[in-house]
Amino acid sequence: MDSREACERFGRALGSTIAQLKERYPDRPLHVSLSGGRKAVAALTYFGAQQAGLSRVWHTTISDPGFDKQVEEETTLDNLAGLKMADKALRLFLQAYASECDEFTISPVPVIRLNLALPGES
């Protein structure tokens, strides 16, 4: 996120996506991940989860540093650019690494509710 406008755009898109998914699948839980991005994106995602009333988000860690570096490199925009959408999804949702599932730890992160509005909202 390189500007306030980019942060606001991301926040609006995330909020809209969460609302659409909650409306489309009202009887299913919505899982949101903080992992796989920059710290600013994780913070904005957490804020979006607060605004949407979610009770938790998820964080994934990889125990093996070498494997962590491999996943990080294989999921960069440059390395994903030439892949088909299905293959991108397999990498981004970590399904491409299912044989290494023992290396992953998925932890719930409670979302603390705050009564805050975005600037310009009442």
Residues 1 and 47 in one domain: yes
Mapping DSSP to helix (H, G, I), strand (E, B) and coil, where does residue 15 land?
helix
Domain enclosing residue 102, as ranges: 61-110
Report the chain's mean pLDDT, rounded to a whole number: 85
Please check whether residue 122 lies inside any domain of the structure.
Answer: no
| Structure confidence at residue 111 (pLDDT) | 92
Please check whether residue 83 lies inside any domain of the structure.
Answer: yes
Residues 4 and 37 in one domain: yes
Residues 39 and 83 in one domain: no
Distance between CA 66 and CA 73 in Å, rounded?
A: 11
Q: What is the DSSP string of 32-80?
A: -B--SS-HHHHHHHHHHHHHHT-SEEEEEEES-HHHHHHHHHHTSHHHH
For residue 65, how far is the Cα from the chain centroid? 21
Please, which pLDDT band fits residue 81 given cuts at 50, 70 and 90? Answer: very high
Residues 72 and 102 in one domain: yes
Please, which pLDDT band fits residue 91 given cuts at 50, 70 and 90? Answer: confident
- pLDDT 10s digits, 32-69: 888 766 677 888 888 889 888 899 999 888 888 999 89
